[in-house]
Amino acid sequence: MTQTGHATDPCGHLHELSEFIDGELAPELCAELEQHMAGCNNCRVVVDTLRRTVSLYRTLPADPDLPPDVEERLWRSFDMGELLPLAKGK
Ligand SMILES: [Zn+2]
């Protein structure tokens, strides 16, 4: 197994994974990704963490009066700070 890219995104699938979770990934790419995930623990962990983080984020009020530093700390507590722009990119 080659280790390329960032530790959080060792396969370079991070963008696809976020679209996959949002249900925005093309069906044929979904199938491809699912096939990849069957043999890739990294991507399964990312999907699992993203799903939980995104669902947590969506339980927050639509316009949360959360100070940015508190919000950032919340995300960092998941060690997913770098995924924040992806999850929020809507
Ligand atoms: Zn992977």
d(CA 45, CA 25): 18
Distance 39 CA to ligand 1 centre (A): 8
The pLDDT score that the predictor gives to residue 5 is: 47
Distance 57 CA to ligand 1 centre (A): 24
The 10s digit of each residue's pLDDT in 19-70 is: 998 889 999 999 999 999 999 998 998 898 888 887 777 776 655 566 777 7
Which run of H or E residues covers position 64?
Answer: none
Distance 73 CA to ligand 1 centre (A): 27
State which amino acid sits at residue 35: Q
Three-state secondary-structure class, residue 4:
coil
Return the closest-CA partner of residue 83 out of 30, 72, 58.
Answer: 72
pTM above 0.85, yes or no: no
